């Protein structure tokens, strides 16, 4: 009986998933593949964000005729330019005039704000009913976990209506698509991102009062069901989508994408990564025939694509955190890990659901009894998850919290910023918190703030880069355990770096080089972007908090 209410919520979610809009690769078929593989645009995200100038059916009908008998002077780039246009972006026209970084951020909110969307046939944009803030640069849509950190700054700016609009948009996406996608693009619908919705609701409740929890309780429930889908029938020692049940019956979660094909927004990159993996893995293997070899190659491609997509679902796209050898992306194995950050976030979601049911009052005794019973269920799940995190995501020899590889049955030994989530969410006891903070400060704290990992791989979520959301998690996590000097010192380093880059360039960046403060951040699949939503939010919140 305790799962009955959960199952009732599952069926609507499954129904909406079946009605998801078509993605660019489905709409534009071989035109999509030809443009992406020819690298007509330097950034693979460009084409999938373009808006068609006429109906997709007309575009494809013409392209199919051309492919059958291509004119001698045919240009694929010219064809794309004639049939598609770039979405308008206010940011491209914006020139920084402010000398003070706080004033600059206040001005940027209007630049990064998007009005409610209108549906466009053939566009990948998923229309949202309320205004929202985008990160900036190539990121012209709302992003899930980015938005919580953006909201921290919106709160300091008094932009409460914008926070509420964005929370309502996320609730809308949960109700429409069954979950919050990576971003409001059709090609992001196969995955979510680190689940910060409960923290957004908590932030809004701090401003508007506890009645907020009742308003968003149905959406919180549905998000929980998305992450726990299939758990009630899962056998010990098996996995299903985002849920893993270990041999002892422990339930924990992983990052997961429902597809095992190249990401539409990084199609060529994923195809090339998978081919490198195939070449490496099959180099010293013998096969009876080519058919058997190609079958093995297809299996490797599917696995690599799934791991890459699931790495994108983690928000850390990409990082040595997910690599078997901590060096090369072709060894990526994201779905084998039970991530410590994800499970801390779901612990917080369970506690939020428990509190929400506790706060709901009713004149009907049977409703009150039901709510208290549900609150008790979520309290137990939170306790079970906390126990599981402590059991499986703690590396005693390294003295750190880390991801657990349930396939190899080993906990990661890499010191990285995900290990600070148990401090932020107060999962850690005092002894482990002491060890974790010492390891992070020893290995990751540099002149400009915290490294994401200590590895230099060329990936953007590795050294020498630091990222605003992880600085916030570490700084507040340290403070919650009484490490006030360390908290303030690390905040001061990050703020100083942000201000220095702003004074030099007039921009706030997506990520920063925290080891050499004169160099820009780099790595990854695209140039470092400016704008930038979560950097603005965290920087403003830290300036206000510490009066920098």
How, if at all, do strands 512-513 and 465-466 pair? antiparallel
215: preceding bond cis by omega (within 30 degrees): no
Return the pLDDT at 453: 98
Could you give the residue numbers annotated as active site? Answer: 317, 510
500-523 burial by CB neighbour count: b if 16+ within 10 A, else e? ebbeeeebbbbbbbbbebeeebeb
CA distance 305 to 193: 17
The model's pTM: 0.95
**36 HSE (CA, 13 A, CB side):** 25
Task: Walk along the chain (548 residues) in steps of 10 and give the mean pLDDT of each run.
Answer: 37 49 97 98 97 98 96 96 87 80 96 95 98 95 98 98 98 98 98 98 97 96 98 96 98 98 98 98 94 97 98 98 98 98 98 94 78 96 98 98 98 98 98 98 98 98 98 98 98 98 95 95 87 97 97
Which positions ≥6 away from 351 have C-beta within 8 Å?
A: 378, 379, 382
Q: What whole-number distance in Å separates Cα of residue 19 and Cα of residue 25?
A: 17
**Secondary structure letter of residue 332 according to DSSP:** B
Tokens of 403: 């991801």
Q: Where are the alpha helices (DSSP H) in 334-454?
A: 340-359, 365-392, 421-424, 430-443
The domain locations on the chain are 444-548
Tell me what pLDDT residue 19 has. Answer: 67
Evaluate the omega torsion of the peptide bond into residue 222 and state whether it is cis, within 30 degrees of 0: no
> Would you give the DSSP letter of residue 115?
P
Could you tell me the end-to-end alpha-carbon distance of the chain, in angstroms, rounded to an integer? 54
Tell me how far CA of residue 409 lies from CA of 163, 393, 501, in angstroms: 41, 11, 43
**What is the structure's pLDDT at 524?**
87
Question: For residue 113, what are its two tokens?
Answer: 């704000």
**pLDDT for 523:** 87
pLDDT value at position 13?
41
Q: Are strands 238-240 and 132-133 parallel, antiparallel or unpaired?
A: unpaired
């Amino acid at each position: 009986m305790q799962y009955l209410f959960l199952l009732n919520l599952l069926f609507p979610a499954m129904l909406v998933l079946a009605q998801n809009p078509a993605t660019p690769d489905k709409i534009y078929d071989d035109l999509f593949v030809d443009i992406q593989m020819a690298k007509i645009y330097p950034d693979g995200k460009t084409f999938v964000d373009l808006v068609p100038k006429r109906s997709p059916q007309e575009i494809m009908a013409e392209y199919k005729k051309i492919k059958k008998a291509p004119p001698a002077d045919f240009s694929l780039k010219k064809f794309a330019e004639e049939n598609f246009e770039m979405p308008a972006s206010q940011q491209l026209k914006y020139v920084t005039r402010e000398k003070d970084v706080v004033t600059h951020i206040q001005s940027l909110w209007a630049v990064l704000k998007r009005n409610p969307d209108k549906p466009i046939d053939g566009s990948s944009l998923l229309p949202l009913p309320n205004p929202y803030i985008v990160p900036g640069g190539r990121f012209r849509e709302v992003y899930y976990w980015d938005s919580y950190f953006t909201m921290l700054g919106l709160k300091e700016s008094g932009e409460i209506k914008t926070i509420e609009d964005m929370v309502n948009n996320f609730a809308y996406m949960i109700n429409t698509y069954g979950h919050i996608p990576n971003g409001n693009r059709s090609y992001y619908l196969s995955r979510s991102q680190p689940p910060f919705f409960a923290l957004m609701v908590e932030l809004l409740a701090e401003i508007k009062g506890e009645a907020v929890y009742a308003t968003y309780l149905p959406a919180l429930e549905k998000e929980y069901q998305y992450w726990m889908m299939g758990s009630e029938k899962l056998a010990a020692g098996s996995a299903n989508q985002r849920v893993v049940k270990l041999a002892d019956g422990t339930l924990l979660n992983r990052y997961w994408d429902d597809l095992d094909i190249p990401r539409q927004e990084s199609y060529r990159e994923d195809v090339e990564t998978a081919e490198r993996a195939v070449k490496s893995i099959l180099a010293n293997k013998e096969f009876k025939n080519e058919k058997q070899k190609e079958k093995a190659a297809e299996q490797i491609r599917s696995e690599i694509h799934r791991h890459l997509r699931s790495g994108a679902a983690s928000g850390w796209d990409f990082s040595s955190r997910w690599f078997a050898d901590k060096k090369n992306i072709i060894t990526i194995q994201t779905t084998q890990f039970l991530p410590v950050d994800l499970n801390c976030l779901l612990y917080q979601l369970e506690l939020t659901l428990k509190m929400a049911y506790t706060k709901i009052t009713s004149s009907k005794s049977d409703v009150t009894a039901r709510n208290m019973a549900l609150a008790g269920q979520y309290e137990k799940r939170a306790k079970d998850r906390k126990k599981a995190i402590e059991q499986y995501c703690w590396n005693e020899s390294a003295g750190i919290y880390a991801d657990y590889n349930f396939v190899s049955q080993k906990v990661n030994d890499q010191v990285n910023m995900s290990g600070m989530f148990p401090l932020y969410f107060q999962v850690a006891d005092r002894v482990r918190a002491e060890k974790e903070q010492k390891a992070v400060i020893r290995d990751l704290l540099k002149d400009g703030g915290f490294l994401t990992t200590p590895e230099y791989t060329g990936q953007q979520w590795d050294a020498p880069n630091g990222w605003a959301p992880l600085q916030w998690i570490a700084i507040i996590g340290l403070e919650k355990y009484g490490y006030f000097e360390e908290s303030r010192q690390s905040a001061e380093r990050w703020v100083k770096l942000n201000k220095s880059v702003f004074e030099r360039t007039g921009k706030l960046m997506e990520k920063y080089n925290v080891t050499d403060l004169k160099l820009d951040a780099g790595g990854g699949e695209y140039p470092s972007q400016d704008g930038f939503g979560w950097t603005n939010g965290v920087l403003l919140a830290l300036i206000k908090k510490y009066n920098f």
